[in-house]
Amino acid sequence: MELLTTIKSNAKKQDKCIVLPEGTEERTLKAADEIIKEGIARIILLGNPDEIHQQSSKYNLKHLTGATVIDPRDHEKKDFYGDMLYDLRKHKGLSRDEAQKLVEDPLYLATLLIKNGEADGEVAGAANATGNVLRPAFQVVKTLPGISVVSGAFIMILPDKQWGEDGILVFADCAVHPDPNAEELAQIAVMTAQTTRAIVDIEPRVAMLSFSTKGSAQHPLCEKVTKATELAREMMPDIQIDGELQADAAIVKAIGQSKAPGSSIAGEANVLVFPGLESGNIGYKLVQRLAGAQAVGPVLQGMAAPINDLSRGCSVDDIVNLVAITVNQAAGK
């Protein structure tokens, strides 16, 4: 079955609730209607109820009656969430008044609903920049135990099936952490291996990418990748991982065998971990455009509960797909 169909069908078997803080945004409302109709998730929409109802009638979105609507400016638990945010952030200098004001921001309220167990995950970003979606998530939901850095993976679905696992590769970090050190890069590798198992349902073969293969170049940037590979092995001993590897040695069998003889994954990698955000972000976009790959994500990993960020150019289908992925993440938590 096609990967996204499988992900949606797995989501339908769960009973998860996803909060959509951009509840008055047209594509978000159309996606919510589809999600409820298909039974992919229960939905909480944040926004002015009158505006949501008006839009719903305008676009004839009949299934939105099944969504829970919360007005961030006026709801019965507003003080409760203000106090909660104050308790979480007072050590950073947040005052009670500032906290009461911040919970009117749907992006903050969404993370507090998750923290309080009222929602299992969040999808936002159709109308907000990445930083605005991520900052409340980092501050309120925070990272998984043992993980200090959130990163973003893309599931790359290539038309040419010779690459990765029948044309599927997972790339990271392509979205979040600009300049990881070796420890952080190891965490990114481990989280990407787990995302690959949980969402793509394949056994990860992780290549830690560099401009050097097995000491062909000597540079602190290559040493960082080698160290990260060792640390990732310690963190997740059952992981198939190798590095440092150049991209061709990672994915082309003949080159892997000649540049990294004896490596268990060289030439056969299905997970590519980039040494920094510059190469990761540039790399996924080049593969998307030049190879005609479908890039699904970013799937954010390392957060204590799944929160995913859309591109502002997203389509209704992109939102539906990312909600289904978020449900799968919540189920595998």
Interaction site with ligand ACO (CB under 6 A): 92, 130-131, 134-135, 138-139, 143, 149-150, 175-178, 281, 298
Alpha carbon 265 to chain centroid, angstroms: 25
Contact 82, 100 (CB under 8 A): yes
CA distances from 146 to 47, 111, 143 (A): 35, 21, 8
In whole angstroms, the minimum distance from the beta carbon of 318 to ligand ACO comes to 12
How far apart CA 137 and CA 143 sit, in angstroms, is 9
In whole angstroms, the minimum distance from the beta carbon of 303 to ligand ACO comes to 8
For ligand ACO, give the closer residue by CB, 1 or 290.
Answer: 290
In whole angstroms, the minimum distance from the beta carbon of 130 to ligand ACO comes to 5
CA angle, 10 then 11 then 15, to 5°: 120
In whole angstroms, the minimum distance from the beta carbon of 257 to ligand ACO comes to 33
Helix/strand/coil (H/E/C) assignment for every residue in 126-160: CCCCHHHHHHHHHHHHCECCCCCCCEEEEEEECCC
Q: How many helices (H) and strands (E) does the chain have?
A: 13, 11
List of residues 6+ apart from 76 with CB closer than 8 A:
none
For ligand ACO, give the closer residue by CB, 44 or 182.
Answer: 182
In whole angstroms, the minimum distance from the beta carbon of 276 to ligand ACO comes to 11
DSSP code per residue over 37-78: HHTS-EEEEES-HHHHHHHHHHTT-GGGGGSEEE-TTS-TTH
Q: At what angle do helices 49-58 and 26-38 cross, to 10 degrees?
A: 80
For ligand ACO, give the closer residue by CB, 40 or 175.
Answer: 175
Within 13 Å, how many C-alpha atoms sit on residue 159's CB side?
7
For ligand ACO, give the closer residue by CB, 92 or 262.
Answer: 92
Contact 159, 266 (CB under 8 A): no
For ligand ACO, give the closer residue by CB, 175 or 222.
Answer: 175
Within 13 Å, how many C-alpha atoms sit on residue 285's CB side?
9
For ligand ACO, give the closer residue by CB, 184 or 242.
Answer: 184
For ligand ACO, give the closer residue by CB, 119 or 277.
Answer: 277
In whole angstroms, the minimum distance from the beta carbon of 273 to ligand ACO comes to 15
In whole angstroms, the minimum distance from the beta carbon of 90 to ligand ACO comes to 12
